Amino acid sequence: MKTLFISTLILIASITGIQAQDAAAYQSPISTGYAPGFSGKSTMGDINFPDDFYGKWKIIFSHPADFTPVCTSEIIALAKLQDDFKKLNTALLVISTDGLNSHMEWVRSIESISIKGEAPVKVNFPLISDVDMSISKKYGILQTDGGKTYDRRTVFIINEENKIMAMFYYPDNIGRNVEEIKRTLIALQTSEKHDVLTPADWKPGDDVMIPSPATVNDAQKLGEKKNPDLYQAAWYMWFRKLN
């Protein structure tokens, strides 16, 4: 009886340990702090992140699987705007748990696809292979369905100092809006450069906002400065024109 009791305790401890490891491996996507560093093989050679992208903003774009319709549409959409991201000093990186050969064949296929008569795109950003899932575990983007483990449809926007500034998480069946990702990037860069806020539905060129005054008196003092670039909608809600 004593032996059986000890064996049971060992079994429970083992199961608990496995469950703890699984919980650590399949945690929710990280959304703040510094982006974890990693090395990997890609369609454009070896990648050392973030060292290879010093002084740049970065966007990490994870996807469930190569040769799938939604993911393919997303890579095409990303490629259509890749020059815009380059002008915004931003590097694009795509990652999944597929092998490097799969990535390379998929890129060849993507570069031959014409949708509604549009010219095929050229993919000028790396697709990183994470077969051992080591990178995906660091970012908490793994999910398991039907016994298969693969990456969530996730986006990380990372600044020059390698801090995660924004994170998007989409379900498997919904494609991402790349224009919205670009808009968010521009909003983040604008906020960082000018120390401002951006209101709902903000677009590049729109007026921005400034942090709220602490009190009504502070708001009155702000109004007394007669700054033509500032105007208010409420004492706590101030807009600013950007030249």
Of the pLDDT bands very low, low, confident and very high (cuts 50, 70, 90), residue 26 is: low
Q: Is the pLDDT of residue 7 over 70?
A: no
> Residue 24: its pLDDT value, please?
40
What is the pTM assigned to this prediction? 0.87
| Range in 5-14, 22-31, 39-48, 220-229 with the lowest mean pLDDT | 5-14
Q: Which of 3.40.190.10, 3.90.1300.10, 3.30.1020.10, 3.90.1150.10 would CATH assign to domain 195-243?
A: 3.30.1020.10
Q: Compute CA 30 distance to the chain's CA centroid, rounded to the nearest angstrom.
A: 10
> Residue 177: its pLDDT value, please?
97
What residue type is 105 in one-letter code?
A: E
DSSP string, 6-24: HHHHHHHHHHHHHHHHHHH
Q: Any idea which fold 31-176 has?
A: Glutaredoxin (3.40.30)
Are 209 and 237 spatial neighbours (Cβ–Cβ below 8 Å)? Answer: yes
> Residue 62: its pLDDT value, please?
98
Give the H or E element holding residue 166: strand 164-170
Buried/exposed code over 166-200 (b: 16+ C-beta within 10 A; e: otherwise): bbbebeeeeebebeebbbbbbbbbbbeeeebbbee
- Name which of 125, 133, 185, 122 is nearest 157 in CA terms: 185
Query: Per residue in 64-80, pLDDT tens?
Result: 999 999 999 999 999 99
Q: Is the pLDDT of residue 152 over 90?
A: yes
Of the pLDDT bands very low, low, confident and very high (cuts 50, 70, 90), residue 117 is: very high
* Mean pLDDT, rounded, of the chain: 90
Give the Cβ contact number of residue 36 at 10 Å.
16
Residues annotated as part of the active site = 71
**How crowded is the C-beta side of 187, counted as CA atoms within 13 Å?**
20
Name the residue ranges covered by the structural domains of the chain.
31-176, 195-243
Average pLDDT of the segment spanning 168-188: 96
